[in-house]
Structure 1
Amino acid sequence: MDFSGTAILVAGDVMLDRYLAGDVARISPEAPVPVVRLEKRWSVPGGAGNVARNLSRLGVAARLVGLVGDDAEGRTLRAAVTAEGIEDALTVSHDRATTSKTRILGHGQQLLRLDEERVAPLGPGELEPLKSAVARLLPGCGAIIISDYGKGVFLRREDGGSLCADIMAQAKVAGIPVLVDPKGKDWSSYAGAACVTPNTAEFLEVCGLPAGARPDAAKRRELAEGLCRQYGFARLLLTRGPRGMILYAPGEEPVRIRAAVREVADVSGAGDTVIAALAACVAGGLGWAESAAVANAAAGVAVGKAGTAPVALAELNEALRQGMDNPKLFALPALRHKLEEWRRRGERIVFTNGCFDLLHPGHISLLRQAAALGDRLVVGLNADASVRRLKGPERPIQNETSRALLLAALQAVDAVVLFGEDTPERLIHEVAPDVLVKGSDYRVENVVGADFVLGRGGEVHLVDLVDGCSTTGLVRKMRPAAAGDTGDGAHA
């Protein structure tokens, strides 16, 4: 993954996260509480600040809008924001203190948290500077993140308006997608968002269900799509902790993503990591399902850390590499056994191939059409060296691990296997599919492996393409200087 050249605006409740950590060896004689012998203290940006911190660590140009008090905590927070390389557009309020959370840790375990905050709607002296900062920083952004912690920045004013609704209106005019980490029961201020990312508790609350309720899959989908229609959301990403994530969009099949967690140390800030990674991918040109898969991998890294800790780009790339143990990703020997298993059950095998460098609607359409032609879809994926030979030294944009993991996250795909040759001829002979699929920009006689498949009594299908969708087009939008790129057909 590479997010250089991507800018994202974060607006919301900014806070200072302070940590006091030490050793616990005895219980106090004054009261039945542990005595912490203080050994270390540190402070980091929290809330919306942690979202911006995650973006910055991923290589995104993060721009931060929020409120701080005219106090020592505010000055500490702003210094920490600057140290993270985040563009500071924080407004200093003389009417409230900086929101702060102080966590006391013993042996790495949280024993107590102290919150300092004033929850109140914005005053006139706070609102206008924030609106001006948003308007100034919006140009050039690929996405906007609304990070609502319910601390006051987005509370409704006496006139019924809110800063959130103001930002939504500016974003709509600018054509910039807005992603929202929501709070509370009233989501009307977020109306028109490209995506909201509630956790299970937030989802149940806004749906009017009691905490701990467990609606079945059909009911959960009905509720999620109902929220999308009610508030005009394009999609909703439900984060479910150890149960993974589900991406909903009205009229589409839900995309379920299994949790990537290996060992949990602290869930603090995991939601910040999710929305930061999701927004970075979307702003960088990835599709929503693929972006959600990457965000899921990032969350798995975040919860393995103590305290509010961001995920660096190198850590995310390593998590994606380790994700190659995904059950849909195969080396050829393992794929042979899986194919035998499917054939014993009488299942029809479909095969297609490509580079799939930057997944886009054209790819999704091709894969869905291919999957509909049989029971199991196997995708042959060009390895990095193969892509470079075919497309030139600047490609692929994403490495083979990332491309394979994103394909595996798609519901239509049952197996992904890499091949290093310039064509999939050898792989097609190994898979021996019942159906071979390519796009309608090919002729059957020009499809690699067609003679072999037809000779075995199989079929070759040329499926419809989506007009105007191509990786080359996306690359040119991101890199205007790439106009001389070699091109990659309609969908590769």
Structure 2
Amino acid sequence: MSLVIVGDCLLDVDLVGSVGRVCPDAPALVVDEDTRRPRPGGAGLAALLAARAGEPVTLVTALADDDEAEVLRTQLGRVPVVAGPANTPTPVKTRVRAAGHTLARIDRTRAGTPTVTAEMLAALRSADAVLVSDYGRGLTEDAVLRNVLTELAGRVPVVWDPHPKGASPVRGVTLATPNLDEARRMSGQSGDGVTEAEAAATMLRARWRAGAVAVTLGGRGALLAWVDGDVDGGVGGGVGGGEERTRLVPAPPVAVADPCGAGDRFAVAVTAALMRHETVPAAVEQAVAAAARFVADGGAAEITGGSFPDGTPDDDVAAACHLADQIRARGGTVVATGGCFDLLHAGHIRTLSAARAMGDCLVVCMNSDDSVRALKGPGRPLNGEADRAEVLRALGCVDHVVVFAETSPERVLAELRPDVWVKGGDYTPETLPETELVRGWGGEVVVVPYHDGRSTTRLARMLSETG
């Protein structure tokens, strides 16, 4: 599968310091600078978030020929980038932060008309799903690009994250995802309640001939407007008949210090879910949950560019350890579990859900293909490790997946050091070889009861007998 994110890139910089006094010659706080942290912004942030979530992402954008663009490329790490000329300096947005709060933002931007190249269009046409991340810099106004996006909207999911200064979505997009402020400005509605969001979503869906519109409401979740029968398949919405429906998708309660980047995380998650053939309502539910977890983990302020999980075990472990550090810094509990997860069944789901309920994040340690063969024999796994990891990442109860090559997870556990290690099956903690290791750093080992009659081996045998 291929997720293509197309849109405007910015360079975001967090100037982080501390405040201990007021300026003597003006009523202003004095910030003593400690560090400057650059990261991709706009479509670049969306692409980095997709890569960190393990999505097969390509970024299609326009970049300047300046030092800031080189910083952007470095911060994007190994995200594949197909870029045309921006024909204007890289826009830079600097946030001045202290004690976890943003005190001011300094923007340095200049207008320009980006160039869309044949290589950019070819990358778009290869997509299994497209996220248009419009930040009002002119890329989505290009006529040829819009023609290609219109063509794609008829055959793959296209999600449009609009901007008041950007172009309107092309006809037939699967879903548009404005936030409430953007929806009000683009629809002419006033007020910040759910009723106003519903009116704006319904109006914009009809105006844009979109399959659905989800107005994101921050900590309240998202208001979804769609037409029954129009968006079930996730492609080519907005042109058929059916009953107009709306639904408020509530967000789980989280403490939010900085919501920056939550909209990008929502848009990435909903596009990835549609790429995997979820219905729009189901995809929006998953995206609301993903955005809530993102802001609970610190939002964009906790993002450091330049590295992300790309499917290799070492990168997976590093990213999992980074997540664990974030959770522990907030006083949370890190839970891990492990297994092959070859054919996902109800027993797996119950075990994973029970494990996630024991803490504040769940890391799944999954056996690689070679590891499964060593344990189960040459006929296994039935699904390759990339597919197995993709399915696990799509579950709302799973926060991260680590693929390990050994037959047992001790090496990964020694690096991750979870607070709770959960195992499903007919074991006892004393019969598990990893128990001594986990208890060595004060961790707890929990065995979730075995679900009789539900196993991958049984399913595989049934499939072979019926085949």
Band the TM-score falls in, shorter-chain normalisation: 0.5 to 0.7
The Cα of 1:119 is off from its aligned counterpart by 3.0
Give 1:50's aligned residue.
45
- The structure 2 residue matched to 1:80, chosen from 51, 75, 84, is 75
Q: Using a 3 Å threshold, how does the CA distance of structure 1 residues 91 and 27 change in structure 2: closer, same or farther? A: same
Does the aligned pair in 1 maintain the 2:137–2:166 contact within 8 Å?
no
Structure 1 pair 90–225 and aligned structure 2 pair: CA distance change class (3 A) = same
C-alpha deviation, 1:238, in angstroms: 1.8
With over 3 angstroms needed to count, the CA separation of the structure-2 counterparts of 1:291 and 1:484, relative to structure 1, is: farther
- Aligned partners of 1:100, 1:107: CA distance in 2, in Å? 22
CA distance in 2, matches of 1:488, 1:78: 52
2:264 to 272, 277, 292: 272
Structure 2 residue 248 is matched with structure 1 residue 256: yes
Separation in structure 1 between the aligned mates of residue 102 and residue 393 of structure 2, nearest angstrom? 40
Q: 1:198 to 1:484 in 2, by over 3 A?
A: farther
Separation (CA, whole Å) in 1 of partners of 2:193 and 2:253: 22
Asked if 1:230 corresponds to 2:207, the answer is: yes
Q: Distance in 1 between matches of 2:29 and 2:165?
A: 37
- How high is the TM-score relative to the length of structure 1? 0.59
Aligned partners of 2:84 and 2:394: how far apart in 1?
42
- Tell me what 2:193 maps to: 214
Q: Which residue of structure 1 lines up, in the alignment, with residue 128 of structure 2?
A: 142
Distance 1:12 1:233, change over 3 A: same
CA RMSD of aligned residues (A): 4.1
Could you list the per-position Cα deviations for residues 203-260 of structure 1 after superposition, in whole angstroms to 9, with x for gaps in the alignment?
12222113x35363xx754543343233221111121112112322122543432112
Indicate the structure (1 or 2) with the bigger Cα radius of gyration: 1
Matches within 5 A, 1:275-424: 275-304=267-296, 305=298, 307-309=300-302, 383-384=348-349, 394=382, 398=391, 402=395, 420-422=451-453
Tell me the equivalent position of 1:194.
174
Query: Which stretch of structure 1 is more off in the superposition, 161-170 or 224-233?
Result: 161-170
Q: Is 1:247–2:224 an aligned residue pair?
A: yes
Q: Which residue of 2 aligns with 1:63?
A: 58
SS in 2 for 1:265: coil
Q: Residue 134 of structure 1 aligns to which amino acid in structure 2?
A: M
Following superposition, the deviation at residue 10 of structure 1 comes to 1.0
| Residue aligned with 1:89, SS | strand
Matches of residues 450-469 of structure 1 in structure 2 within 5 Å? Answer: none
Q: Corresponding residue for 1:182?
A: 162
Q: Distance in 2 between matches of 1:215 and 1:488?
A: 53
- Distance (whole Å) between structure 2 residues aligned to residue 201 and residue 52 of structure 1: 23
**Matched-pair contact (CA < 8 Å) for 2:125–2:152:** no
When residues 169 and 485 of structure 1 are mapped into structure 2, their CA distance, relative to the original with a 3 A threshold, is farther
Matching residue of 1:168: 149
Task: Provide the residue aligned with 1:335 in structure 2.
Answer: none
Query: Are 1:127 and 2:120 an aligned pair?
Result: no
SS in 1 for 2:259: coil
* Residues 164 and 213 (structure 1), Cα distance of their counterparts in 2 relative to 1, 3 Å cut: farther
Which residue among 71, 82, 85 is the counterpart of 1:89? 82
Aligned CA distance change for structure 1 residues 220 and 384 (closer, same or farther; 3 Å) = closer
1:18 to 13, 16, 21: 13
CA distance in 1, matches of 2:124, 2:26: 53
Quote how far apart the aligned CAs of 1:419 are: 9.3
Q: Cα deviation per residue 1:356-399 (whole Å; 9 max; x = unaligned)?
A: x99xxxxxxxxxxxxxxxxxxxxx95555999xxxx96589646
CA distance 1:162–1:220, change in 2 (3 Å): same
Q: Give the AA of the match of 1:20.
A: L
Return closer, same or farther for 1:400/1:269 CA change in 2, 3 Å cut-off: closer
Does the aligned pair in 1 maintain the 2:84–2:120 contact within 8 Å? no
Question: Contact between 1:261 and 1:303, CA under 8 Å: does it hold in 2?
Answer: no
Show structure 2 runs of 5+ residues with no match.
228-242, 310-318, 325-342, 353-379, 399-448, 455-459
State the AA in 2 paired with 1:192: G
Q: CA 1:104/1:186 → structure 2, altered by over 3 Å: closer, same or farther?
A: closer
Matched, 1:98 2:58: no
Count of aligned positions: 338
